[in-house]
Amino acid sequence: MRAENLYHTGIVVDDIEATMAWLARLAGYSWTDVVTVDQQAVTPDGEVTIPMKMVYSGAEPRLELLQSVPGTVWTPADSGVHHIGYWSDDVESDLTTLESNGLTCEVKSYNPDGSGTLLWAYAKGSTGPRIELVSRNMEPFIAYWWGTATTTTD
């Protein structure tokens, strides 16, 4: 993991649309299309399906807003910052490095192509926000998503 690979700050909120509108009014943010997906993931307790709803800001530095999902790691953080996300060329290896430095993997998701490669993972330490590792293979899809950003006013 390298500092220059940081590409977003994730914030879990209870009302994603209201937060988008508030940040648009307050700071002029534009937003990508909101994506809703049933995400397959693996937790220490086993495989789960998580109903995810998320959006990115159009401007850098990027904010990622995620709708809270009770009973998962996607609940609002006391600090306001849920996670900081880094591109990773090898999520498995970088996750191993984080774990060897005292962080614990909370949830991860594998590529649905059957290759067994990790697409992303969240790790949490005793202090600070979670670290999200995202496969650089997802960068073209996410960059396309960023291109959908439009101004939200409400």
Around 107, how many Cα atoms within 13 Å sit in the side-chain half-sphere? Answer: 14
Three-state secondary-structure class, residue 2: coil
User: What backbone torsions phi and psi does residue 121 show, to the nearest 5 degrees?
Assistant: -155, 150
CA dist 113 and 18 (Å) reads 35
**Which DSSP string corresponds to 86-151?**
EEES-HHHHHHHHHHTT-EEEEEEE-TTTT--EEEEEEE-SSS-EEEEEEGGGHHHHHHHHTT-EE
Is the separation of the CB atoms in 101 and 131 below 8 Å? no
Rounded (10°) CA dihedral 42, 32, 69, 121:
20
Closest by CA to 132, choosing from 119, 142, 144, is 119
In this structure, are residues 83 and 99 in contact, taking their beta carbons and an 8 Å threshold?
no
As given in the structure block, the two tokens for residue 4 are: 């220059």
The model carries a pTM of 0.71
Beta strand 104-110 with 118-124: parallel, antiparallel or unpaired? antiparallel
Looking at residue 105, its pLDDT comes to 95
State residue 16's pLDDT score: 92
The pLDDT tens digits along the chain (154 residues) read 788 888 899 999 899 999 898 888 877 889 999 999 999 999 899 999 999 999 999 988 899 999 999 989 898 877 678 888 889 999 999 999 989 888 899 999 999 888 999 999 999 887 667 889 999 998 998 888 888 888 655 5
Give the number of other Cβ atoms within 10 Å of residue 81's Cβ: 14
